[in-house]
Every structure is written in structure tokens, then in C-alpha cells.
Homo-oligomer: A and B are copies of this chain.
Amino acid sequence: MSVNTFGHLFRFTTWGESHGPALGATIDGCPPGVALDPAIIQHWLDKRRPGQNRNTTQRNEPDAVEILSGVYEGRTTGTPIQLMIRNTDQRSKDYGDILNTFRPGHADITYHQKYGLRDPRGGGRSSARETAARVAAGGVARAALGVVAPQVTVTGYMVQMGDRRIDRSRLDMDQIARNDFWCPDAVAAAEWEDYLTWLRKDDHNSVGAIIEVVASGVPAGIGAPIYAKLDTDLAAAMMSINAVKGVEIGDGMAVAALTGRDNADEIAMGSDDPVYSSNHAGGILGGISTGQDVVVRFAVKPTSSILSPRRSITMDGQPTEVITKGRHDPCVGIRAVPVGEAMMACVILDHILLDRGQTGGVRGRIG
């Protein structure tokens, strides 16, 4: 019922509007004894922060996180952790001209229809700024994973911008941090750079993207069928991110074109654990992890705020045209990469804890 809350045992509630005094995450269910301080969380927030390069909005806020509760002498106590980020750079005048206008592709109109009123400043609650709170929560989840399941790693990257895909034969995880796009393909990154510059400067347009997030080292046997399957929760996690319109696990939508023979991930016995010939399943069978990489992808629509005029209506129902000046990413998908990572970290931690409560975390033997 907690409509602003995500998770089963590791739960976070995000709160705050784009241009209100602050935003943050209330985390309930972090295990006790985890080393935590603001710097640990700040590391991940800095990855997401706008204003870092030409391709993300020029809103230049430090996004400094404060830990208001749940930590004593540098360790979590098992009580709720309150993370707060003050909004310092609010320039609400930028948005003044759209107070009475519904921007196409934005939630202005639906928030108005549902609630009868809305906070129009910067999109209010529906702004992508909410995702900063998720990234902060994800930082806590990663810290807790470091104790609970230290072998788990979570890595996100962009695999498609517009109709330009990476070439998986050039996949190099070391490239991810070396370009503005979290792109694991150096050649693609260079092309995207040119394309995005043109889009922004010349075409006054924006473009969509696809992000892939991989969790490695996830123990086999986590996931809670039927309605809290690991993939179900990942689908919900990613679809809840602003502007996401599609989510895939493993081969995703492409499974439609596969045959059963092709799709079978054949099983052999490794030294200790089963090994698989392939990973069409994305590391999940029947909602439960296989021990392979957990692979999720999601598509982010192009930024709706563009400098090109689009037809719309005012609150009075009068026709108008909307051009959104303000500061906007031409490809919001870029900033969605650390957000997707954060959601993956939260889901994996949550399911490890849930599995402990369900089964004690003991695994069935094979071999």
C-alpha cells in the first residue's frame, strides 16, 4: 500500500519535490552493523549528479547527502535511516511560464487530473530529481551488500542511444567510466558524443536510450514466487523510474523469436555449483536466481522537454504551444544508468534478506 515505498524487508520511501526545500529517502530494514557515512553514499550520488558534462542538465547542485538517523558511531543500528538532500539551486523562474500549461509527455496533466492541484516547480514530485533519493538508497544497499553478500557486484551501462547500439564484440567494462555515457564501447561513445551535440545544438531535440544493468555474484536461490519473483520486482523497480517504457530480463522481448531449442540454457555440473551453457534467462528461472549474472535492460524515452514547439492546452483548455527552455538533458537515459544500478542493488539486497526470513538462507544441495 505504501505507494511511495519500494521493497519487502529492505524498504525505502522517497519523498520530496524538485524545487521544494529538500528531498530524500527513509530507509527501513537495513541490517545493523554496516559501516556507513555520508561519503559512502555521496560517491554514488556524484555519479548521478547533473552538471557534470555537456550532455546532462546544467543544474549545478552539490546534492550533498546528510544522514539524519539510523547510524551511530559510523555503523547502522538496524533502525530507520533518514537521508536528506537539500535543494539549493532552485531557479524556479525558469518554469514560471508553464504554470498553467500542460507539457506534452510530462505528468503535469495527469497529476492535475488526479490530485486537483500540483507543485509545478520543475515538475514537482514527478521530476527525475526524485531519482537522487533512489541513488542514495542504493548507496546504502551497496554498503549492506558489502557485509551480507560481498561477492555481489552491480554494473550499469548504456547499450543504445537513439537507434545507435553498441557493438557487443567491443564490450569493455573499463570504458564505462571513461566517457560521458557510461558506454562500454569506446567507438560507440565517440559517435554518440557527436550525435548528441548535434541533437542538442542544431536539432533542438532529444533522444531515447537503453540501459543494461548486470548483477554478478548473486547467490542461487533468491527470489520469492509467485508475486515477488526476482524478475517481477526488477521489472517494477525499473518501470518505476521516470520515462522508462520497457523492461527486459535476459533475452527480453527477443525471446518471442526464439525456439525452445535455442532458448534452453543447458546445465552441466561445475566444481561446486551448476554451470550453464548460456544465459538467455538472465539469471532467473521461475522467479528465483540461478547463480548466473542477473541481467536487466530498460528503455528510457527521449526527454519530453525540448526547444522545439509542441502543441498542447492550458489548464483552461485553451490551445497553446510549448517550448521548454530550462535546463534539460537531451538524453535522460544517461542519468538513468546509476539509478538502474541503485534499484538493482536494492532488489538484490532485499531478496537476500527476504530469503533469510523465508528459508533461513540455507540452500538445497546438488551433487
Contact = CB atoms under 8 A, between A and B. Distances in A.
Interface residues of A, number: 165
Contact of A24 (B82, B125, B302): B82
A16 interface: yes
Interface in A106-147: 106-107, 109-119, 121, 124-126, 130
A318 to B, nearest CB: 7
A297 B86 CA distance: 39
Contacts of A118: 72, 77
Given A252-B245, A301-B255, A357-B357, A265 B2 contact: no
A264 interface: yes
Interface in A13-52: 13-17, 20-24, 26, 28-29, 31-33
Contacts of A104: 264-267
Most chain B CB within 10 A, of A75, A220, A224, A226, is at A226
A162 interface: yes
A8 interface: yes
Contact of A312 (B13, B209, B267): B267
Given A21-B69, A263-B105, A356-B357, A77 B125 contact: yes
A150 interface: no
**For the complex formed by this chain, how many copies does it contain in all?**
4
A239 B227 CA distance: 9
B21 A5 contact: no
A61 to B, nearest CB: 16
B246 A248 contact: yes
A228 to B, nearest CB: 4
A120 to B, nearest CB: 8
A310 B259 CA distance: 13
Contacts of A221: 110, 113-114
Interface string A75-96: 1011111101000000000000
A254 B66 CA distance: 39
Contacts of A312: 266-267
B358 A31 contact: yes
A102 interface: yes
A169 to B, nearest CB: 20
A281 interface: yes
B229 A364 contact: no
A302 B251 CA distance: 12
15 contacts: A3-B358, A15-B70, A16-B82, A17-B70, A22-B69, A75-B117, A77-B117, A102-B267, A105-B281, A106-B285, A114-B355, A116-B362, A245-B253, A246-B252, A317-B367
